[in-house]
Amino acid sequence: DDTVIILGDLGSGDIAKFLGSLHGKKQLIIGNHDKAILKDPEVISCLQSIKQMSERTIETKDITPENKIRLSIPSPTPFIRLSLCHYPIWSFNYNCCYGVDFYGHIHTAYAENMVIHDACINYANIKGKPMNMFNISASMPYIGYKPQIFDKIIEGASLFYDKIKRD
Protein backbone atom coordinates (compact mmCIF):
# COMPACT_ATOMS: atom_id res chain seq x y z
CA ASP A 1 0.00 0.00 0.00
CA ASP A 2 1.56 3.28 -1.16
CA THR A 3 1.75 6.50 0.77
CA VAL A 4 1.37 9.74 -1.18
CA ILE A 5 3.06 12.62 0.59
CA ILE A 6 1.98 16.07 -0.56
CA LEU A 7 4.41 18.83 0.36
CA GLY A 8 1.83 21.56 0.66
CA ASP A 9 0.13 24.09 -1.58
CA LEU A 10 -2.55 21.68 -2.77
CA GLY A 11 -4.13 24.35 -4.93
CA SER A 12 -7.74 25.24 -5.64
CA GLY A 13 -10.71 23.60 -7.26
CA ASP A 14 -12.13 20.24 -6.27
CA ILE A 15 -9.28 19.16 -4.00
CA ALA A 16 -11.31 16.31 -2.47
CA LYS A 17 -11.92 14.86 -5.93
CA PHE A 18 -8.23 15.19 -6.78
CA LEU A 19 -7.18 13.48 -3.54
CA GLY A 20 -9.73 10.72 -4.15
CA SER A 21 -8.11 10.03 -7.53
CA LEU A 22 -4.75 9.26 -5.89
CA HIS A 23 -4.09 5.67 -4.79
CA GLY A 24 -2.79 4.91 -1.32
CA LYS A 25 -2.72 6.78 1.96
CA LYS A 26 -2.43 10.54 1.62
CA GLN A 27 -0.33 12.63 4.00
CA LEU A 28 -0.33 16.41 3.76
CA ILE A 29 2.67 18.42 4.85
CA ILE A 30 1.11 21.85 5.35
CA GLY A 31 2.10 24.59 2.91
CA ASN A 32 1.63 28.33 3.12
CA HIS A 33 -1.34 28.22 0.69
CA ASP A 34 -3.30 25.48 2.50
CA LYS A 35 -5.22 27.55 5.07
CA ALA A 36 -8.57 27.44 3.22
CA ILE A 37 -8.50 23.74 2.37
CA LEU A 38 -7.69 22.86 5.98
CA LYS A 39 -11.15 24.20 6.87
CA ASP A 40 -12.86 21.89 4.36
CA PRO A 41 -14.13 18.71 6.09
CA GLU A 42 -14.37 16.86 2.76
CA VAL A 43 -10.68 17.48 2.08
CA ILE A 44 -9.72 16.59 5.65
CA SER A 45 -11.56 13.27 5.35
CA CYS A 46 -9.36 12.32 2.35
CA LEU A 47 -6.14 12.73 4.33
CA GLN A 48 -4.72 10.10 6.69
CA SER A 49 -2.49 12.69 8.36
CA ILE A 50 -1.73 16.40 8.33
CA LYS A 51 1.66 17.53 9.64
CA GLN A 52 4.08 20.43 9.55
CA MET A 53 6.89 18.05 8.60
CA SER A 54 7.69 14.36 8.57
CA GLU A 55 10.64 11.99 8.54
CA ARG A 56 10.90 8.58 6.94
CA THR A 57 13.46 5.82 6.92
CA ILE A 58 14.36 4.39 3.53
CA GLU A 59 16.27 1.15 3.30
CA THR A 60 19.17 1.50 0.90
CA LYS A 61 18.37 -1.88 -0.65
CA ASP A 62 15.34 -0.09 -2.14
CA ILE A 63 17.49 2.60 -3.81
CA THR A 64 18.98 2.02 -7.25
CA PRO A 65 22.79 1.72 -7.45
CA GLU A 66 22.92 4.86 -9.63
CA ASN A 67 21.05 6.88 -7.03
CA LYS A 68 23.28 5.59 -4.24
CA ILE A 69 26.17 7.11 -6.18
CA ARG A 70 24.23 10.35 -6.81
CA LEU A 71 23.51 10.63 -3.08
CA SER A 72 27.07 9.59 -2.10
CA ILE A 73 25.79 6.77 0.10
CA PRO A 74 28.71 4.56 1.11
CA SER A 75 28.44 0.80 1.46
CA PRO A 76 27.39 -0.67 3.76
CA THR A 77 24.75 1.85 4.87
CA PRO A 78 21.53 0.00 5.70
CA PHE A 79 19.19 3.00 5.58
CA ILE A 80 18.95 6.74 5.06
CA ARG A 81 16.60 9.30 6.59
CA LEU A 82 14.24 11.38 4.48
CA SER A 83 13.04 14.74 5.80
CA LEU A 84 9.84 16.15 4.29
CA CYS A 85 8.77 19.75 4.75
CA HIS A 86 7.03 22.35 2.61
CA TYR A 87 10.00 24.69 3.02
CA PRO A 88 13.69 23.97 2.39
CA ILE A 89 15.40 23.40 5.74
CA TRP A 90 19.17 23.79 5.96
CA SER A 91 19.58 21.98 9.21
CA PHE A 92 17.32 18.98 8.75
CA ASN A 93 17.77 15.88 10.86
CA TYR A 94 20.61 13.67 9.54
CA ASN A 95 21.64 16.38 7.05
CA CYS A 96 25.27 15.30 7.23
CA CYS A 97 24.65 11.58 7.64
CA TYR A 98 23.42 10.73 4.14
CA GLY A 99 20.00 12.21 4.83
CA VAL A 100 17.78 13.67 2.12
CA ASP A 101 15.45 16.68 2.36
CA PHE A 102 12.46 16.98 0.03
CA TYR A 103 10.71 20.37 -0.09
CA GLY A 104 8.25 22.09 -2.38
CA HIS A 105 7.73 25.78 -1.50
CA ILE A 106 9.89 27.24 -4.26
CA HIS A 107 7.67 26.58 -7.27
CA THR A 108 9.45 27.87 -10.36
CA ALA A 109 12.34 29.98 -9.11
CA TYR A 110 15.18 28.05 -10.75
CA ALA A 111 17.74 30.57 -9.50
CA GLU A 112 16.69 29.96 -5.88
CA ASN A 113 16.83 26.21 -6.42
CA MET A 114 20.32 26.49 -7.88
CA VAL A 115 21.47 28.53 -4.86
CA ILE A 116 20.18 25.78 -2.57
CA HIS A 117 21.74 23.07 -4.76
CA ASP A 118 25.12 24.85 -4.86
CA ALA A 119 25.00 25.54 -1.12
CA CYS A 120 24.58 21.81 -0.53
CA ILE A 121 27.67 21.12 -2.61
CA ASN A 122 29.63 23.79 -0.70
CA TYR A 123 28.44 22.33 2.61
CA ALA A 124 29.63 18.90 1.50
CA ASN A 125 33.02 20.32 0.53
CA ILE A 126 33.42 21.98 3.94
CA LYS A 127 32.05 19.15 6.09
CA GLY A 128 33.36 16.30 3.97
CA LYS A 129 29.89 14.72 3.88
CA PRO A 130 27.08 15.13 1.36
CA MET A 131 23.99 17.23 1.99
CA ASN A 132 21.09 16.28 -0.27
CA MET A 133 18.14 18.64 -0.76
CA PHE A 134 15.67 18.35 -3.64
CA ASN A 135 12.74 20.55 -4.63
CA ILE A 136 9.90 18.20 -5.50
CA SER A 137 7.35 20.88 -6.27
CA ALA A 138 5.03 19.66 -9.03
CA SER A 139 6.13 22.66 -11.08
CA MET A 140 9.69 21.37 -11.39
CA PRO A 141 10.25 19.81 -14.84
CA TYR A 142 11.72 16.58 -13.50
CA ILE A 143 8.56 15.83 -11.52
CA GLY A 144 6.34 15.78 -14.61
CA TYR A 145 3.33 17.33 -12.81
CA LYS A 146 2.41 14.08 -11.10
CA PRO A 147 3.37 12.00 -8.07
CA GLN A 148 6.75 10.30 -8.39
CA ILE A 149 8.60 7.60 -6.47
CA PHE A 150 11.81 8.35 -4.55
CA ASP A 151 14.22 6.97 -7.18
CA LYS A 152 12.56 8.88 -10.05
CA ILE A 153 12.80 12.12 -8.08
CA ILE A 154 16.52 11.65 -7.31
CA GLU A 155 17.31 10.61 -10.88
CA GLY A 156 15.30 13.45 -12.44
CA ALA A 157 16.64 16.13 -10.11
CA SER A 158 20.24 15.01 -10.56
CA LEU A 159 19.98 15.03 -14.35
CA PHE A 160 18.17 18.40 -14.28
CA TYR A 161 20.84 20.13 -12.16
CA ASP A 162 23.65 18.54 -14.18
CA LYS A 163 22.09 19.88 -17.40
CA ILE A 164 21.70 23.39 -15.97
CA LYS A 165 25.36 23.42 -14.94
CA ARG A 166 26.43 22.33 -18.44
CA ASP A 167 24.28 24.97 -20.21
- pTM reported for the whole predicted model: 0.82
Q: Is 116 helix (H, G, I), strand (E, B) or coil?
A: helix
Exposure on the CB side of residue 53, measured as CA atoms within 13 A: 16
The residue type of 143 is: I
Burial class (CB in 10 A: 0-12, 13-18, 19+), 16: middle
Q: Model confidence over 138-156: pLDDT tens digits?
A: 667 777 777 788 888 888 8
| Per-residue model confidence as pLDDT tens digits over 86-108 | 988 877 888 777 788 888 887 66
At 128, is the secondary structure helix, strand, or coil?
A: coil
Separation between Cα atoms, residue 54 and residue 76, nearest integer Å: 25
- C-alpha span between 103 and 143 (Å, rounded): 12
